Amino acid sequence: METFYLFLVIFLFILAIFDLSVGVSNDAVNFLNSAIGSKAASFRVIMSVAVIGIFVGAALSNGMMDIARHGIYQPQYFYFSEIMCIVLAVMLTDVVLLDVFNSLGMPTSTTVSLVFELLGGTVALSLIKIYNSDGALQFGDLLNTDKAFTVILAIFLSVAIAFTFGAVVQYISRLIFTFNYKKHANYFIGIFGGLAATAILYFMLIKGLKESPFLEGELKTAIYSHTNEVVWGAFIFFTILMQVLHWLKVNVFKVVILLGTFALALAFAGNDLVNFIGVPLVGYSSYMDLLAQNGATTPDTFLMDSLLEPAKTPWYFLVGAGLVMVIALVTSKKAHAVIKTSVDLARQSDGSENFGTSPVARVLVRTCNNISRTVLSVIPPRTKDWIDSRFNNNEIILEDKASFDLVRASVNVVLSGLLIAVGTSLKLPLSTTYVAFMVAMGSSLADRAWGRESAVYRITGVLSVIGGWFITAGAAFTICFLAALVIYLGGIAAMVGVVALAAYMLVRNQILYKKKLKKEAMQEEVDSTISKLRETTDKREALSLFREHSRGELCNVLNFASDTFSRSVRGFMDENLRELRKVMAAIEEEKNYLKQVKRVGTLGVTQLEHDIAIDKGLYYYQGNDFASEIVYSIRRLTEPSKEHVDNHFSPLSDVQKADFGKMTDLIVSFLNRSAEMIESNDYHRMEDMVNESADLFAKLTLLKKEELKRIQGQTGSTKVSMVYLNMVREAQNVVSFTANLLKVSRKFQKE
Stretch 72-99: mean pLDDT:
84
Split at pLDDT 50, 70, 90, the class of 699 is very high
The percentage of residues in the chain with a pLDDT greater than 70, rounded to a whole number, is 79
Q: Using one digit for the tens of pLDDT, what is the confidence trace for 354-385?
A: 666 677 777 877 887 778 778 778 888 888 88
Query: Do the domain assignments include residue 101?
Result: yes
685 or 354, which is more confident: 685
How far is it, in rounded angstroms, from Cα 653 to Cα 717? 9
Stretch 617-639: mean pLDDT:
87
Residue 279 has pLDDT above 70, yes or no: yes
Query: Do the domain assignments include residue 588?
Result: yes
pLDDT on residue 554: 85
Residue 337 has pLDDT above 70, yes or no: no
How far is it, in rounded angstroms, from Cα 711 to Cα 272? 70
Q: Which helix (H) or strand (E) holds 583?
A: helix 577-606
Report CA-CA distances (Å) from 569 to 294, 519, 644, 730: 70, 24, 13, 12
Same domain, 325 and 355: yes
How many structural domains are present in the chain? 2
pLDDT on residue 526: 56
Query: Do the domain assignments include residue 77?
Result: yes
Same domain, 506 and 557: no
255 or 426, which is more confident: 255
Same domain, 549 and 434: no
Of 82-86, 232-236, 620-624, 739-743, which range is least confident? Answer: 620-624
pLDDT on residue 532: 59
Q: Find all residues with CB under 8 Å of 22, minimum gap 6, and list them.
A: 95, 98, 99, 102, 328, 334
pLDDT on residue 581: 92
Domain with residue 724: its CATH number is 1.20.58.220
Stretch 145-150: mean pLDDT:
68
Query: Do the domain assignments include residue 109?
Result: yes
Q: Which helix (H) or strand (E) holds 245?
A: helix 227-247
pLDDT on residue 665: 92
Same domain, 13 and 43: yes
461 or 334, which is more confident: 461
Report CA-CA distances (Å) from 193 to 248, 254, 713, 716: 14, 10, 87, 81
pLDDT on residue 61: 63
Stretch 208-227: mean pLDDT:
64
- What is the chain's percent helix, strand, coil content, to nearest 5? 85, 0, 15
The percentage of residues in the chain with a pLDDT greater than 90, rounded to a whole number, is 11
Residue 73: burial class (beta carbons within 10 Å; 0-12, 13-18, 19+): buried
Stretch 534-551: mean pLDDT:
67
pLDDT on residue 78: 84
How far is it, in rounded angstroms, from Cα 162 to Cα 155? 11
State which of 517, 551, 571 marks the end of a domain. Answer: 517
Stretch 596-602: mean pLDDT:
65
How far is it, in rounded angstroms, from Cα 15 to Cα 103? 18
Same domain, 569 and 598: yes
Same domain, 427 and 457: yes
Split at pLDDT 50, 70, 90, the class of 563 is very high
Q: Find all residues with CB under 8 Å of 387, minimum gap 6, and list them.
A: 175
Residue 252 has pLDDT above 60, yes or no: yes
How far is it, in rounded angstroms, from Cα 568 to Cα 579? 7
Of 317-326, 431-440, 710-719, which range is least confident? Answer: 710-719
pLDDT on residue 213: 55
723 near 637, Cβ under 8 Å? no
Q: Find all residues with CB under 8 Å of 370, minimum gap 6, and list them.
A: none
How far is it, in rounded angstroms, from Cα 55 to Cα 328? 12
Same domain, 577 and 628: yes
Of 43-57, 104-118, 373-387, which range is least confident? Answer: 104-118
Q: Which three-class secondary structure state does DSSP give residue 73?
A: strand
pLDDT on residue 361: 75
pLDDT on residue 600: 59
Query: Do the domain assignments include residue 93?
Result: yes
606 or 400, which is more confident: 400
Residue 522 has pLDDT above 60, yes or no: no
Question: 289-325 as b/e, with b when 16 or more CB fall inside 10 Å?
Answer: bbeeeeeeeebeebebebbeeebebeeebbebbbebb
Stretch 593-622: mean pLDDT:
68
32 near 48, Cβ under 8 Å? no
Split at pLDDT 50, 70, 90, the class of 733 is very high
Query: Do the domain assignments include residue 527?
Result: no
Same domain, 315 and 405: yes
Of 115-119, 139-143, 443-447, 584-588, which range is least confident? Answer: 139-143
Same domain, 505 and 569: no
**Amino acid occupying residue 500:** A
Same domain, 492 and 564: no
How many C-alpha atoms does 51 have within 13 Å on its Cβ side?
14
Split at pLDDT 50, 70, 90, the class of 570 is very high
Most confident of 151-155, 312-316, 424-428: 312-316
711 near 721, Cβ under 8 Å? yes
Report CA-CA distances (Å) from 651 to 12, 603, 661, 730: 52, 48, 14, 19
Residue 666 has pLDDT above 90, yes or no: yes
Residue 199 has pLDDT above 60, yes or no: yes
458 or 655, which is more confident: 655
Stretch 236-259: mean pLDDT:
88
The rounded mean pLDDT for the chain is 79
Query: Do the domain assignments include residue 295?
Result: yes
Residue 735 has pLDDT above 90, yes or no: yes
Residue 208 has pLDDT above 60, yes or no: no
pLDDT on residue 500: 85
State which of 517, 547, 576 marks the end of a domain. Answer: 517
Split at pLDDT 50, 70, 90, the class of 671 is very high
pLDDT on residue 415: 84
pLDDT on residue 605: 64
Most confident of 24-38, 103-117, 395-409, 723-737: 723-737
Residue 604 has pLDDT above 70, yes or no: no
State which of 466, 487, 517 marks the end of a domain. Answer: 517
Q: The domain containing residue 576 runs over which residues?
A: 536-749
Residue 233 has pLDDT above 60, yes or no: yes
pLDDT on residue 710: 82
Same domain, 483 and 572: no
Same domain, 561 and 471: no
Query: Do the domain assignments include residue 191?
Result: no
